Structure 1
């Protein structure tokens, strides 16, 4: 089988990198590996081009430099060097075999045996190689068939592969979400369920990264259902609950943050616990927190003044997120949710039109009284739907009331 019509394969940068490696190790010393080969076979976009080679990391580094390309030693201990050609990175890894593993990290030895390298990979559809001309090599004998049929099958014994790295449990479901069709592989699913307790060895960052990648899939629903049935979802997200609202959110939005949001209750304490345990990025943490706080004020029956008040207090993003959630929870009210969401996203909250200087001109000295009066003004201004005039008179009245 020959890969054809692949821009990345014909690109000048790709050819320069492969030529550099073959100049040092001879024809066939380097092959494309993994996702780029898999995606090319099934007609999916290729984002990253990874290369496997029989050259040692030191030889790879020397070959890249000798060709006038930039070489970055991104993981020499594990055999990885990154070549930069035409501003594009190519991750190049020496063929490896595992010497020992602890479920998280592996001690490896370098090899020149392509079958040994394939045997340590996670799934058969990822253990695919292609030479510089696009000729495909399938050491397991099933990788091409799996890729074309949408089967996610472990290389060799599923339990052995998982014990080498328990993250492969989550990768099983993530790859099924992206590339799987039909039912998940029964042996792989059973192994994931049996060995799920071992995921306690994984860092929160690794878990959350896999979960977010899974939720980014066009339709993560079947994979999430399988993960839930296997008891894996409950281990990584005990607050999570699959519901019809999740399926509706998948239909409404491709945003993985919204898909995560609908899995847990709209409660600030619960959301904070999820963000802390999964060590979510600050951006995701803050977005979840803002939506959970805004949820107490947002519903599909709200008037435009109430909507604007909520946007002023919590921000348009938070209110729009909650409204999308409400639309997923109440599909019959989707038009109302969409209309309100468009208003929330399209309205720019005005700045508070008065400040401490205005109060100073009225004889109020800086201090607690200034803060109290500004809060009182703001509350009335919001309640009256942000009037554009009459600010001075309103402020003067508040000052008189305070002195009376």
Structure 2
């Protein structure tokens, strides 16, 4: 099936053409092609973020050709044949055609080749094994990549089990790409291979696993992919805490926020959340947000109660708790009033401090903190009155002065 991406603006961008021209000056016409995501997304009519290229040139020859053309070169992965050319302040990743010599389920030892079909044979999915030359003509070495793009099929290149045994991360990539690009049911053969090889994911680093999981959850419609992960036993391997997916279904329809979506798959209590987040090596800021969003929130609370909670936890954590409560109770939209209040109410600052306590006659010391804490508790309980602070403080200090 013939296809073209000749209408893509990035294909004709001056910076990109400079990279193509530099490499072809050394290796001749056709020695370099666009590959992978940029070709796939262009055929799907989706945004292209990264420009990746494959070339017959050996890495050292690529570096020399690019530098001869006056382009900046970053040797990002010479051992695996990858260099990055910076042209027009844009990175263009260029990798020499490769074939796998040895794999262990996490990384591969490669040898360079000049055969496009060999390079395609080591890639994960047929829709990622697409190439396009400088004129935009698409090459489909597997013979099925273009059709897979058009029909939303995520199908492994060759035997699914073999591809997975080369790198067990491809199990999660199968579901991630299905979440982003798949239509209809997942490929049955690929799904069965993922289920069979799921225990092999224990070889993967936590960082690689969490990165794929978060990318999956950031897809516009992640639920079908997570359901397939659960049914195949894959989800239980990477996130054994996950139970019912009903809260995720509700949350995914309400919010695109990946942290909120992830929160629905984690335990309710803070200790369980922290244990799962640390096992996945999530960033500390994400862990803190997940824990802050965990305490249950009563969606029927009064405005007065809402203001007290807002003051104590802050606007961000409060809004997260509203979303999470809606998802956990299956009541989307029931927290709209609380959201509106949180967005409109200016959270006040405590109107008194140590100097006010001193002015009331109490010498600095441990009692100062206790007086301020008592003042704050009463101020919150009375719904943050704007006046009467001196009188309230005096009423707290005077008994101490008489003691």
1:241 aligned residue: 243
Q: Is 1:200–2:202 an aligned residue pair?
A: yes
CA distance in 1, matches of 2:4, 2:128: 17
1:303 aligned residue: 302
SS in 1 for 2:335: helix
SS in 2 for 1:99: strand
Residue 363 (structure 1) shift: 3.1
1:361 aligned residue: 359
Q: Which moved more, 1:131-140 or 1:265-274?
A: 265-274
Of residues 332, 335, 338, the one that matches 1:337 is: 335
Residue 372 (structure 1) shift: 0.9
Residue 139 (structure 1) shift: 0.7
RMSD over equivalenced CA pairs, Å: 1.3
1:4-54 deviation per Cα after TM superposition (whole angstroms, max 9, x unaligned)? 321111111111111111011110110000011111111111111100011
2:347 aligned residue: 349
1:319 aligned residue: 318
SS in 2 for 1:89: strand
1:364-392 deviation per Cα after TM superposition (whole angstroms, max 9, x unaligned)? 23332111111111111111111111111
Residue 306 (structure 1) shift: 1.0
CA distance in 2, matches of 1:225, 1:243: 7
Matches within 5 A, 1:178-327: 178-292=180-294, 295-296=295-296, 298-327=297-326
Of residues 376, 385, 388, the one that matches 1:387 is: 385
The TM-score normalised by the length of structure 2 is 0.96
CA distance in 2, matches of 1:237, 1:346: 37
CA contact (8 A) 1:79 1:94 kept: yes
Residue 362 (structure 1) shift: 2.6
Residue 395 (structure 1) shift: 0.9
Number of residue pairs matched by the alignment: 400
Gaps of at least 5 residues in structure 2 are none
- Distance verdict in 2 for CA 1:300–1:91, change over 3 Å: same
Of residues 97, 100, 111, the one that matches 1:109 is: 111
Residue 210 (structure 1) shift: 0.3
Gaps of at least 5 residues in structure 1 are none
Q: Is 1:173–2:155 an aligned residue pair?
A: no
Residue 113 (structure 1) shift: 1.0
CA contact (8 A) 1:225 1:242 kept: no
CA distance in 2, matches of 1:312, 1:30: 59
CA distance in 2, matches of 1:395, 1:102: 69
Instruction: Point out 4+ residue stretches in structure 1 off by more than 6 angstroms.
Output: none
SS in 1 for 2:84: strand
Residue 335 (structure 1) shift: 4.1
